Amino acid sequence: MIDRCLAFTQGKIVGTLMYVFPPHSRSEPMSLRRTFIRSLLLGAALPVAAIAAVLPHAKLKSSLPSAGTTVAAPKELRLTFSEKIEIKIAKITLLRGTEELAALGDVAADSQATETVVIPVTKPLAAGSYTVKYRVAGPDGHPMGGSYVFSVK
């Protein structure tokens, strides 16, 4: 693309200047538009990613009985998470096979470790394999769940 303009010196026209623009300059408005749209999308995505990275979510750190172990019939289950758990929202169930057992008491926070929940076992457990299912939320309210298996001898 060629563009012309007048050249001035001390207020007088002294000639004509010619500018030759490279071929890619014709697509420049489209390129600017694409760059602008990409910037908007990136600008919208970054805060979402940053918030997700900053907000911690409760993860199971340890349990008693531990996953995969064989133990004598436990009197309680202890689950320790990566952060404090909202007790009112916590749901812990005990299954034998696919059957949910009514053998657990109410979920309570450990008096010395706020990220640990204690669930009393209210009925003796017979020998066999058991699955502990949990659904909890940390202070941010984000739900997290999982399960693990232990055996009673």
- Over residues 9-53, the pLDDT tens digits come to 666 666 666 656 565 555 455 577 777 777 777 677 666 555 555
Residues 116-148: tens digit of each pLDDT: 999 999 999 999 999 999 999 988 888 899 999
**Contact, 57 vs 103, CB < 8 A?**
no
In this prediction, residue 120 carries a pLDDT of 97
The CATH number assigned to the domain with range 60-152 reads 2.60.40.1220
> Each residue of 56-72: pLDDT tens digit?
578 999 999 999 999 99
| DSSP reduced 3-state for 50 | helix
Contact 119/132 with Cβ under 8 angstroms? no
Spans of all domains in the chain: 2-54, 60-152
